[in-house]
Amino acid sequence: MRAVIQRVSRARVSVASETVGRIGQGLVALIGVESDDGQEDVRYIADKIAGLRVFEDADGKMNRSVQETGGGVLAVSQFTLLGDCRKGRRPSFTTAAPPDRAEALYLRVVELLEEQNIPVALGRFRAHMDVDITNDGPVTILLDSRRHF
């Protein structure tokens, strides 16, 4: 499972000009699910998102998590994070999980975040979405449950 995490001052996701998810200060989590991901991968990604210390403390150091700041998470499923561009010019998505499995694991990440009292807004699975992100910093973190990077 892969995720791109961005610290934001605000973000929203729209489908067909309708806002379906919105947060103020917090994190946008773009989440890609691989075909052989399981509960261990889900737990790793959810725990990392909840605990990432990317918000400034009183001394101006990135030392606080989204939990500590009371921020929210906008979780957006994004299978293109699994695009393999090593050969040719068109990404291959052969390692991406089938939609039903991907949606179930993506929603499990959301549940685990909510269990930690983090407000979570969602994109719409398998929809063409417009995601408006106002980066704060910018701060962008890459996560991979297999620790490839």
Q: Catalytic positions, please?
A: 78-80
> In 122-149, which positions are buried (b, 16+ CB within 10 angstroms) versus exposed (e)?
bbbeeeebeeebeebeebeeebbbeeee
Q: What tokens appear for 66 in the block?
A: 């989204």
Is residue 53 within 8 A of residue 63, CB to CB? The reply is yes
94/83 Cα distance (integer angstroms) = 8
Q: How long is the chain?
A: 149
128/79 Cα distance (integer angstroms) = 12
Is residue 143 within 8 A of residue 30, CB to CB? The reply is no
